[in-house]
Amino acid sequence: MTKPHPKAFLRRAGQLLATASVAAAALAFANAASAQTLTIESWRNDDADVWNTKIIPAFNKKHPNIKVQFKADPPTEYNAALNARLAGGTAGDLITCRPFDASLDLFKKGNLTSVNDVKGIENFSDVAKSAWSTDDGKTTFCMPMASVIHGFVYNKEIFDELKLTPPKTMAEFHAVLDKIKADGKYTPIAMGTADQWEAATMGFQNIGVNYWKGEEGRKALIEGKQKFTDPAYVDVFKELASWAPYMGDGYKSQKYPDTQNLFTLGRAAIYPAGSWDVPIFRKQADFEFDAFAPPVVKAGDKCFISDHTDIAVGINAKSKNVEAAKTFLSWVASPEFAEIYANELPGFFPLSNAKVEVKDPVAAKFVGWRGTCESSIRNSYQILSRGTPNLENELWNVSAQVMNGSMKPEEAAKKAEDGLASWYEPHKK
Amino acid sequence: MTDLTASQIHSADAVPARSRFPVHIAVFLAPALAIYTLFSIYPLIDTIRLSLYTGDETGARSFVGLQNFQTLLSDSNWSGQFWNAFRNNLIFFLIHMVVQNGIGLGLAMLLSLPRLTGGSVYRTLIFLPTMLSVVIIGFIWQLILNPLWGIAPSLLKAVGLGSLFGPWLGQESTALLTVSLISVWQFVGIPMMLIYAALLNIPDDLLDAATVDGAGPFSVFWFVRLPLILPTLGVVSILTFVANFNAFDLIYAIKGALAGPNFSTDILGTFFYRTFFGFQLQVGSPTMGAAVATAMLIIILLGVLIYLFGVQRRLQRHTF
Amino acid sequence: MGTTVRPGRIAVHIALVLYTILALGPILLILINAFKTRRAIFADPLGLPNGQTWTTIGFDRVFANSDFGLYFFNSLTVTVVSLVLIVLIGAMAAWALTEYKFPGNTLIGLYLAIGIMVPIRLGSVSILRMMVELNLVNTLTALILVYVAQGLPLAILILGEFIQQIPKDLRDAARCDGVSEYRIFASIILPLISPAIATVAVFTMVPVWNDLWFPLILAPGDGKQTITLGVQQFIGQYVTDWNAVLASLTLAIAPVLVLYLLFSRYLVRGLTAGAVK
């Protein structure tokens, strides 16, 4: 068919093959030569710019001879990719730690080292360290970095236009929602259930702390003194179910980025938020926005917030640069790091005892609730997500289903409780 | 025939007298077998081996025989998810068989009409989505079906069907169907091309003879063309089966590893991924994951065997 | 159906045109919206960009924040080298299996068939461990080796059918002249199977170019990402920024589109050739 072509093609292909193998060899060599650098594994791909332009240069001012490279995977792929690389021995020197069992598992498998002897660890309280310590609290294996706080962000211009004031109680919250819905121009609540985790964290954990009284309920759940079928928990699911009519068209297939866009385009009034949303809104919203704390159940109730220990950093046990890594961790524990982190990434709040001033007014409002309300962490994270079925996965699933109307609040509570009771002793009764 | 002449010539050739295995055959086969064995078969066998072990908290492994499979099939926490994924996978496959291969067959019939103008243009354009990455396809369709952007609803409204629109990707009842149809949309070009090629292969005189005998277009299709392309339809079916039971990327790209809502889009590939690598607070288990992978392997092999011995024999054609 | 007059033909064309629109519409939609402002994307998704809504801000952001040229080069290297190796090594094996009768021939055929049915992905962790021992992690070589192993079985099957169709007289004549088996393969068979390269390309190159899994596990490092992984990572990072997302999708689609339209004749011919000839 084509006579002269094949030979020419093969010759060209041969050349390409030769150059490619040389190139591949060169790449492999370059990889080996850069071993003196510290590499950070992270899921915070949103923060890559801040790390590269602010945090790492600040560190290098003090320690010019330690090179640091920030490498991030998308959050949903982080656990899988990290585990694969740890198994293969190719993971970076520094590992960004998820809270509680995911990291505890890494420590138990010998992938993370203890950081008890790293200078600066004394700057953190036991509560701050709890998410990255063994059950007996004796060994800490990651240096705490930041927590995130839940609450509600609202579009101030819409609130002014409709003459609304931020609600303090659930009754007021519903009154506000009704007014926005009655006006008809805006979607009252920006939230979707397609990604499922929004329903569980921005919904269930966000408002739930006020129902189960923060740490009191969280600890009672771990001890088996409370169950998901108790009224407090069923009520949270009931409340979530009541949000459905206020959410946008097609919220069932609305994903997290859609939710963010819905709010930043000015089409929605209230956004159940995590404080990490604040910097993104700063960049994309061209209107003024503010925040209110999760409304309490009844007027006069004490308020609680989900102030969740979210992110820390530990040392890969197989790292060849342990000393340099410890130097870096000590710096992460310093007030200087806390200052940079809190202000470059408003919405991530330092866990160290250092006093840091948060400049972003909305982020400052979030962190200000620490003074007026009591902090707690998400109730599914410590111990309770160790078995099969995994409680956190179950909460995602049932919270989304309750909001979709495909499951009744009582059924959701029962499913979560049954799953837990199937493997967790204190709940087997 | 071929082999006969070839081997006759060998003995007349300069091949060293009576060497049991001719060197040049080994040379021709060695690179392929080496790479294939090392990077394909060995890892698979290693996975099967791993499925017979279990790991404790520290990651130390111990041999447990078939216990992982027992857990997978009898522990309700595992078996529920496993059979759910299997059932969804089966539905995923059936939708492809009916819709993808049905449309592919229809398009191939149209394209193989004699003296069709622009046939190659149609072929080229319809095959185009197959060339694109699943990641990209997944993203494109999410945007189109996105209620916020509103393309799908406004298009439906334009043809007077606005009320039909729903958040299809987010409803338990429609999510799996929607994802399947997106996959159909992407891959319909493959059955179309294969069937088209088979149709071209049918000698014209056969069709002419049938037409002369007074057969209408429908009976020509039903009694002449369809039986002649049955072997190709068989090949298409088995390719679809293998591809569908290996699927992962599209659902992962659109619905994530938790394959919601309420696991309604969970197929074996996503179930394997979740088990193997873990998810959010769920810690991954390489050994249970290997057990799931082995189960997938068995399912695929069973399907292929059923095809080879149950279906292909009757179609009277040998692929090897 | 075939020989009826005009009306039937028109119906056929209407059906084909409609399906072509369905196949291309979604892709075109991405391309046109990539050049519009954020407001216009949401306000009028179906409109073409005009003087007011035209912008390339998304592309600027993509080029400023990622290394698409490099990703593209990586993908091209991996795909082309894999394809060449698959065709060359595959043709050798296919030649051996179809031309010579020797003990174990059928067995090897069946052994190779396993690879068509079972995805290598199920052996990922072992592959990763092996690549670490070979010191190949974060290299394109690792990807190439896996893709060659993955593509070989099907390529051998396709090439085998092709080689069978090559007239026997050529090689028999050569053998009578005392030409070695290697020379027969290299100078007679190899040039004659060039049409099959397109067929093999469709079935092996497309999955390689589009693969997300192995780049994610074997070569996720800076500078070695393939374009699919690069796009995935970029979208993950800028997911709320639709200008950037649409621009990155366009950049990922465009080269494939151009290459496909340039070579589609060979690809389509290759796809149908196996059965036609």
Residues 257-296 of B with CB under 8 A from C: 272, 276, 286, 290, 293-294, 296
Q: Please, what is the end-to-end C-alpha distance for chain B in angstroms?
A: 16
The answer to whether the Cα torsion of C66, C68, C69, C73 is positive or negative is positive
Q: Kindly indicate the confidence band of residue B6, based on its pLDDT and cuts at 50, 70 and 90.
A: very low
Looking at residue C273, its pLDDT comes to 57
Looking at residue A21, its pLDDT comes to 47
Q: Please, what is the end-to-end C-alpha distance for chain C in angstroms?
A: 26
Do B243 and B130 form a contact (C-beta atoms < 8 A)? no
Looking at residue A184, its pLDDT comes to 92
Mean pLDDT of chain B: 84
Distance CA B244, CA A227 (A): 41
Residue B279 DSSP SS3: strand
Q: Kindly indicate the confidence band of residue C150, based on its pLDDT and cuts at 50, 70 and 90.
A: very high
3-state secondary structure chain A: CCCCHHHHHHHHHHHHHHHHHHHHHHHHHHHHHCCCCEEEEECCHHHHHHHHHHHHHHHHHHCCCCCEEEEECCHHHHHHHHHHHHHHCCCCCEEEECCCHHHHHHHHCCCECCCCCCCCHHHCCHHHHHCCECCCCCCECCEEEEEEEEEEEEEHHHHHHCCCCCCCEHHHHHHHHHHHHHHCCCEEECCCCCCCHHHHHHHHHHHHHHHHCCHHHHHHHHHCCCCCCCHHHHHHHHHHHCCHHHECCCHHHCCHHHHHHHHHCCCEEEEEEECCHHHHHHHHCCCCEEEECCCECCCCCCCEEEEEEEEEEEEECCCCCHHHHHHHHHHHCCHHHHHHHHHHCCCCEECCCCCCCCCCHHHHHHHHHHHHCEEECCCCCCCCCCCCCCHHHHHHHHHHHHHHCCCCHHHHHHHHHHHHHCCCHHHCC
* C152 interfacial to chain B (CB closer than 8 Å): yes
Helix (H) or strand (E) holding B53: strand B53-55
C12:B116 CB<8 A? yes
Residue tagged 């619905």 (tokens): B255
CB atoms within 10 A of CB A219: 14
| B5, B185, B320 member nearest C109 (Cβ) | B320
What is the predicted ipTM? 0.85
Q: What is the pLDDT along chain A (429 residues), one digit of tens a residue?
A: 333 344 444 444 444 444 444 444 444 444 444 446 899 999 887 788 889 899 999 999 999 989 998 888 777 778 877 887 887 777 889 999 999 988 998 999 899 999 999 999 999 988 889 899 998 889 999 999 999 999 999 999 999 999 999 999 999 999 999 999 999 999 999 999 998 999 999 999 999 999 999 999 999 999 999 999 999 999 999 999 999 999 988 899 898 888 998 999 899 999 999 999 998 899 888 899 999 999 999 999 999 999 999 999 999 999 999 999 999 999 999 999 999 999 998 889 999 888 888 999 999 999 999 999 999 999 999 899 888 899 999 999 999 999 999 999 999 999 999 999 999 999 987
Residue C81: half-sphere exposure toward Cβ, Cα within 13 Å: 24
Residues 212-251 of C with CB under 8 A from B: 212-213, 228, 231-232, 235, 245, 249
Top mean pLDDT of A208-212, B114-118, B193-197 is at: A208-212
Distance CA B221, CA A276 (A): 62
C135:A87 CB<8 A? no
pLDDT, tens digit, 9 for 90 and up, residues B51-72 = 999 987 777 888 998 999 999 9
pLDDT, tens digit, 9 for 90 and up, residues B11-40 = 444 444 445 578 889 999 999 999 999 999
User: In this complex, which chains have at least 3 CB pairs below 8 Å with chain A?
Assistant: B, C
Q: Higher confidence at residue A354 or residue B7?
A: A354
B7:C101 CB<8 A? yes
What pTM value is reported for the model? Answer: 0.83
Q: Higher confidence at residue B311 or residue C110?
A: C110
Looking at residue B262, its pLDDT comes to 87
* C138 interfacial to chain A (CB closer than 8 Å): yes
pLDDT, tens digit, 9 for 90 and up, residues B270-303 = 999 888 877 777 878 888 988 998 999 899 889 9
Choose, out of C41, C118, C205, the residue to mutate when testing the contact with B (most B CBs < 10 Å): C118
Q: Kindly indicate the confidence band of residue B8, based on its pLDDT and cuts at 50, 70 and 90.
A: very low
User: In this complex, which chains have at least 3 CB pairs below 8 Å with chain C?
Assistant: A, B
A281 chain-C contacts, CB cut-off 8 A? none
Distance CA A343, CA C153 (A): 56
Q: Kindly indicate the confidence band of residue B238, based on its pLDDT and cuts at 50, 70 and 90.
A: confident
Do B81 and B291 form a contact (C-beta atoms < 8 A)? no
* C92 interfacial to chain B (CB closer than 8 Å): yes
Lowest mean pLDDT among A222-231, B92-101, C121-130: C121-130
Looking at residue B317, its pLDDT comes to 46
Is residue C228 over pLDDT 70?
A: yes
A400:B169 CB<8 A? no
Looking at residue A2, its pLDDT comes to 36
CB atoms within 10 A of CB C30: 20
Looking at residue A412, its pLDDT comes to 96
Q: Kindly indicate the confidence band of residue C270, based on its pLDDT and cuts at 50, 70 and 90.
A: low
Distance CA A258, CA A249 (A): 12
Looking at residue B78, its pLDDT comes to 92
* B185 interfacial to chain C (CB closer than 8 Å): yes
Q: Which two tokens stand for residue B243?
A: 């591809």
Closest C-alpha among A378, A426, A412 to residue A214: A378
| C42, C138, C232 member nearest A265 (Cβ) | C42
Lowest mean pLDDT among A2-11, A351-360, B90-99, C73-82: A2-11
What angle do the packed helices B175-187 and B76-95 form, to 10 degrees? 50
Question: How far off is chain C from A294, nearest CA to CA, in Å?
Answer: 25
| A108, A195, A407 member nearest B57 (Cβ) | A108
User: In this complex, which chains have at least 3 CB pairs below 8 Å with chain B?
Assistant: A, C
* C212 interfacial to chain A (CB closer than 8 Å): no
Question: How far off is chain B from A68, nearest CA to CA, in Å?
Answer: 27
C24:B128 CB<8 A? yes
Looking at residue B72, its pLDDT comes to 93
Rounded average pLDDT over C63-86 = 90
Q: Kindly indicate the confidence band of residue C41, based on its pLDDT and cuts at 50, 70 and 90.
A: confident
Looking at residue B66, its pLDDT comes to 92
Residue contacts between A and B (CB atoms, under 8 Å): 133
Distance CA A149, CA A135 (A): 24
Do A150 and A202 form a contact (C-beta atoms < 8 A)? yes
A84 chain-B contacts, CB cut-off 8 A? 277
Residue tagged 């506000």 (tokens): A176
Q: Which residue of A has its CA nearest to B55?
A: A109
CA-based R_g, chain C, Å: 23
C-alpha pair distances (Å), B237 with each of B87, B100, B180, B191: 18, 10, 16, 9
Find residue A70's DSSP bridge partners. A40
Rounded average pLDDT over B44-50 = 91
| A105, A258, A396 member nearest B258 (Cβ) | A396
Looking at residue B319, its pLDDT comes to 39
| A75, A88, A260 member nearest C137 (Cβ) | A88
| B118, B136, B249 member nearest C231 (Cβ) | B136
Looking at residue B69, its pLDDT comes to 94
Looking at residue A163, its pLDDT comes to 95
Question: How far off is chain C from A253, nearest CA to CA, in Å?
Answer: 16
Q: Higher confidence at residue C82 or residue B21?
A: C82
Looking at residue B9, its pLDDT comes to 43
Looking at residue C271, its pLDDT comes to 65
- Cis peptide, bond prior to residue A389, ω within 30 of zero: yes
| C65, C81, C194 member nearest A6 (Cβ) | C194
Q: Kindly indicate the confidence band of residue C5, based on its pLDDT and cuts at 50, 70 and 90.
A: low
Residue tagged 């429908």 (tokens): B218
Is residue B10 over pLDDT 50?
A: no
Distance CA A59, CA A62 (A): 6
